[in-house]
Amino acid sequence: MFRSLALWFESRLHLVKVFEATAGHKVPPSTNSWFYVFGSGTLLCFVLQIITGICLALVYIPSTSEAWPSLQYLNNQQFLGAFLRAVHNWGSIFMVAIMSLHLVQTFLFGAYKYPRELTWVSGCILFLCTLGMAFTGQVLRFDQDAYWGLGIGASIMGRVPFIGAQLVHLMLAGSIIAGETLSRFFTMHVFVVPGMIIALLSLHLRLVLTKGINEYPTPGRLVSKESYENEYEEAVKKTGVPFVPNVIGKDLIFSAFLVVAIVTCALVFGPAGPNGPPNPTLIHTAPKPDFYFLPVYAILALLPAYMETFLLLVAPVVGIAILVLLPFYSGTGEKSYRRRPMAVVIVVLAFLTVGTLAYLGTFAPWSPQMEAWSAAPTPVDYIKNRSGLELQGALLIQGKQCRNCHSLNGEGGQRGPALDTVATRLTPDELIRQVIQGSGNMPAYGKNLSPAEVSALVAFMGTLRPAYQPPARDSTQSVRLPPKDLRATR
Amino acid sequence: MSGNNQKSGCGCNKLAPTEDAPVPSVSRRNLLLKLGAGLNALAGLLIGVPVFGYVLSTFSKNSPRTWVSLGDLNHFPEGNTRLAVFQNPVTKPWDGDTNEVPCWVRRVEGERFQVFAINCTHLGCPVRWFQQSRLFMCPCHGGVFYEDGSHASGPPPRGLFEYQHKVEGGELKILGGNLPTLAEPT
């Protein structure tokens, strides 16, 4: 009965043929490796994102006035709404992470080389689309961060020469962030970019079938355009094994592990936000991007201002071009990372750079701590046995917001140097100059402090040194001593 | 077969057809193909042009700016800088809170004002005013501005964006309506 039913379908759909041409296609046995599971892992994340995304869209309202309440509803009232939001959020984080591993693996294994150029190119565009999903998704979580994040996007667009204003208007669907802006991002996130991803993914997988999957590279075995395809085909014919059922096992195990990991993270950490309502008049906020854009956030604080616009606009284009065109200038030759030391160095450097920037981005030492001046206590040791003038200076260091950028005893901003031992580094004269004129990242306080206030401030800072360390000395003093009568008054 | 047919179908060779039947039907097929493709290109334009026009309708340089009121002059004491909120001149029913735009108003003296955009000139984050040190500070990347809006320190490439303003009927009015960026500072 069952068999005859199966045969009936087979005679209509030719499923065996379809299977042999797709899931059951033959692959080199060397690809049965744990290094080859990241592509299917990314696909799994994508499917998970589609499923959870459709679920969220059942409740979410893409309207500036109602998005935030509908997110609150999802979090607090909708049955399992918070869980699905959490899975969608963690699914996106895992998708970016696993996709990055897939990119690194294919790069290190030379998979981009002849004849798989298009596989690489389509993969790179898929990576960019995924980052696009991450950014637009962050906007759909329409809260304070999303609102100001849009402002940041617009500010970056506004730096484009000639058509900057037009691009800003196109991005915001108008000249300010308002009603139509969110609809625009909703359309991108839900229709346009996923459509592109599905189309590119089809191409990507089609290419895996037509040009085969990259064999596990053997050091010393070079790719040449003349012989590679014949060699590959022969090898697959001779020793190839069907992907299903021989090779898919590891993919399945990894995918199951991924689902468990995503669900666990979702259960433990819960959904992301939304934080404060997207009301632009609530300005007591410090917008921060999601995890994926922390490196960008960090680099924008650390770059010298003069190269910022250049790096914002030109570097991504050049970087993407170098990445996408990789198979066209390095399409043959050695595949194995064991004989491509530069490839390994590039990967390590990229990880270190992105990792360090993301790490810095998480606690943003360059941001002034807006509440430190009124909230951080003055360490008791720093005001014990101090003169009235020095105590007045201690008050000024709070009252004039110095601590928003300078820490005392570890509390306060880190934009400027900590002041705990400032007296060992700067003489009173240098302190006065620094306070009045500022320099580097410090604004000049000359207009905003009276001479008496400056004296008090400098008197207090003059006490900020450990007892065992001498105060900073003016190096010119031993050479050019002031006349005797002046010295007496000092 | 199709290669041969196409050759004769294009009509450049006056070869006698080897068989009598296929030639006229092939050239007719060719004509229909070309006609069909042409009609579809036309149809594509018919849809494509309006779609592009619709999608790119906001790709324009001009933003609608209108004088909007920040309220009575007496709300702004001399020598002080205060947060003011204005309604964006172009609103949609579903704007929610986003049509209320904040800005910083500095009343220098008498009817001399400066009205600064809330957005940092670096990347648009909301700057905060500190009366005691008379500085604007940005929470994102640490940009700092003096009370007259000029750049004090940090990554911003210029001083704060200023709205055009005027005093009319005892009210302070500004020319509002766009998010100030480096491309369109006011």
- pLDDT 10s digits, B77-119: 888 888 988 888 888 888 888 888 899 999 888 888 899 999 9
Is this complex's ipTM strictly greater than 0.85?
no
**φ, ψ at A88 (rounded to 5°):** -65, -40
pLDDT at position A461 = 86
Q: Which of residues 435-464 of A touch B (CB under 8 A)?
A: 438, 440-445, 447-448
Look at residue B11 in the predicted model and tell me its pLDDT.
46
Measured CA to CA in angstroms, residue A451 lies from A365, B45, B50 at distances of: 31, 73, 67
pLDDT for the residue A191? 95
Task: Give me the pLDDT at residue A288, please.
Answer: 82
Query: Which of B58, B104, B147 to mutate: most A Cβ within 10 Å?
Result: B58
Residue A295 CA: distances (Å) to CA of A359, A360, A409, B108: 8, 8, 28, 40
Pair B167, B113: CB distance under 8 Å = yes
Predicted local distance difference test score (pLDDT) of residue A441: 80
How far, in Å, CA of B82 to CA of B76, rounded?
7
Residue A392 one-letter amino acid: Q
How close is the nearest chain A Cα to the Cα of B110, in Å? 21
| B54 in contact with A, Cβ within 8 Å | no
Q: Which amino acid belongs to residue A88?
A: H
CA gyration radius, chain B: 32
The interface residues of chain B toward chain A in range 64-123, judged by CB-CB distance below 8 A, are 64, 83, 85, 88, 90-102, 118-119, 122-123
Is residue A442 a contact partner of residue B153, using CB atoms and an 8 Å limit?
A: yes
Place of tokens 């991924």: A258
- CA of B143, closest CA in chain A: separation in Å? 8
pLDDT of residue A92: 94
pLDDT at A484: 58
Amino acid at B19: E
Closest CA to A135 of A124, A148, A122, A150: A150
pTM of the model: 0.86
Find the CB nearest B181 among A68, A168, A308: A168
The separation between the first and the last C-alpha atoms of chain B, rounded to the nearest angstrom, is 69
Question: How many CA atoms within 13 Å lie on the side-chain side of B126?
Answer: 23
B159 touching A (Cβ < 8 Å):
no
Output the pLDDT for position A67: 92
* C-alpha span between A150 and A172 (Å, rounded): 8
Are A52 and A88 in contact by the 8 Å Cβ rule? The answer is: yes
Report the C-alpha gap between A383 and A390 in whole angstroms.
8
- Give the closest residue to B32 by CA, choosing from B20, B24, B43: B24
Using one digit for the tens of pLDDT, what is the confidence trace for A197-223? 999 999 999 999 999 899 888 888 888
User: Pick from A173, A280, A443: which is nearest to B152 by CB?
Assistant: A443
Give residue-wise pLDDT tens across range A364-408: 788 888 888 888 888 888 888 888 888 888 888 888 888 888 888
Rounded Cα–Cα distance for residues A39 and A135 (Å): 22
What is the pLDDT at residue A480?
A: 54
- Residue-level pLDDT at A489: 46
- The answer to whether the Cβ–Cβ distance between A370 and B128 falls below 8 Å is yes
Contacts of B102 in chain A (CB under 8 A): 280-281, 283
pLDDT at position A328 is: 93
Query: With 80 as the cut, is the pLDDT of residue B136 above it?
Result: yes
Q: Which of A223, A257, A241 is nearest to A111 (CA)?
A: A223
Proportion of chain A above pLDDT 90, given as a percent: 42
A156 contact residues in B (CB cutoff 8 A): 123
Nearest to B60 among A166, A367, A445 (CB): A166
pLDDT over 60 at B121, yes or no: yes
- Residues 128 through 187 of chain A touching chain B, CB cutoff 8 Å: 147-148, 151-152, 154-160, 164-170, 172-181
Q: Does B23 touch chain A (CB under 8 A)?
A: no
Q: For residue A321, with 0-12 CB atoms within 10 Å meaning exposed, 13-18 middle and 19 or more buried, which class applies?
A: exposed
In whole angstroms, give the CA distance from residue A460 to residue A463. 5
Which A positions 215-274 lie with beta carbon below 8 A of chain B?
Answer: none
Collect the ranges in chain A with pLDDT lower than 70.
Answer: 476-490
Residue A87 φ/ψ, nearest 5 degrees = -65, -40
**Per-residue confidence at B9, pLDDT binned at 50, 70, 90?**
very low
Nearest residue of A to residue B154, measured between CA atoms = A441
Q: Are the Cβ atoms of B157 and A368 closer than 8 angstroms?
A: no
